[in-house]
Structure 1
């Protein structure tokens, strides 16, 4: 298993990532990506709607965190294709998260959101499973980090992004239990 330094207390945009991760980590990261929606579903199984939709200040609610993850699945697939196609730069993200902020995820049940996340993540998993060993080692420049990333590096990035939002969701649920 790849040793990952815990950076869960570090703001997402302040995180650093190793690059040039070997293809021997493909299965590990694929499994993390594939199992994440089930982990999220298990955590939220008994979460009341008033908890899943409550915002704490300017922070996203549980539902908005899940919606954000759904919205990013398309970007992840675009970025994986960018690397596979040998593009010099990975497509940039909207660092202001405008789509998440403008969506109405709090008008949905978290079960529906998780179902959508499963559907979108399944498309990503299928795409990754079709990549060749040669594809895994190609690199493109990450626009924000300004470092080259291969497919495995990006898989690690996405898995850590999932974990970042899992911790945010756990924090929201934990803070609601103390109210």
Structure 2
């Protein structure tokens, strides 16, 4: 079982995500999120997908794309570190990722399908992570990060954005 990461296994910035994840097996948590989150988004119309709560904020479609892209980046880091690769990994600019994508013109159904595919890939990747590999620490964005911390960040990042959608976009 992948347990919650220990202090020192990740930069304190990620406390905001890891602290949102409930106790339990992270693999099971990610599987439960897959169903709940995709159903949450499937209930939204195309018009709702285009909604922004302020002119300079991302649309719901862009938030969905951002969640998927961030999971891709974190899963890639997880893969590299789990396999023992100690090459320092760079950060990424989430705003550049969103502005460089075509999320606004992508149908909601395709964004949801993409999110499902990314999560399924993360889940299958984690099935092959041993306890030894889960504790491995590498470097990403100039900070130490463990494999298990990356798994928790993926789950917590999604929770974070769903909370924002509920609070600021008034979606339930």
Q: Normalization by structure 2: what TM-score?
A: 0.76
Kindly report which structure 2 residues correspond to 1:162-173, keeping only aligned pairs within 5 A, or say none: 162-173=158-169
4+ residue runs of structure 1 moved beyond 3 angstroms?
13-16, 87-90
Aligned-residue offset at 1:119: 0.9
Residues 146-165 of structure 1: pairs in structure 2 closer than 5 A:
146=143, 148-165=144-161
Q: Residue 42 of structure 2 contacts residue 112 of structure 2 at CA under 8 Å; is this kept in 1?
A: no
- From 2, 26, 29, give the equivalent of 2:26: 29
CA-atom RMSD, angstroms? 2.8
CA apart distance, 1:94: 1.4
Which residue among 48, 52, 74 is the counterpart of 1:51? 48
Unmatched segments (≥5 aa) in structure 1: 3-12, 19-24
The alpha carbon displacement at 1:98 in A equals 0.9
Counterpart check, 1:42 vs 2:39: yes
Displacement after TM superposition at 1:74 (Å) = 2.6
Q: 1:86 is paired with a residue of what secondary structure? A: coil
The reply on whether 1:118 has 2:127 as its aligned counterpart is: no
Q: Match for residue 19 of structure 2?
A: none
Higher relative contact order (CA 8 A, sep 6+): 2
**Deviations 1:107-158 (CA, angstroms, capped at 9, x unpaired):** 12222211111111111111110112211111113425x3x33211111111
**TM-score using structure 1 length:** 0.73
User: What residue ranges of structure 2 are gaps of 5+ in the alignment?
Assistant: 5-10, 17-22
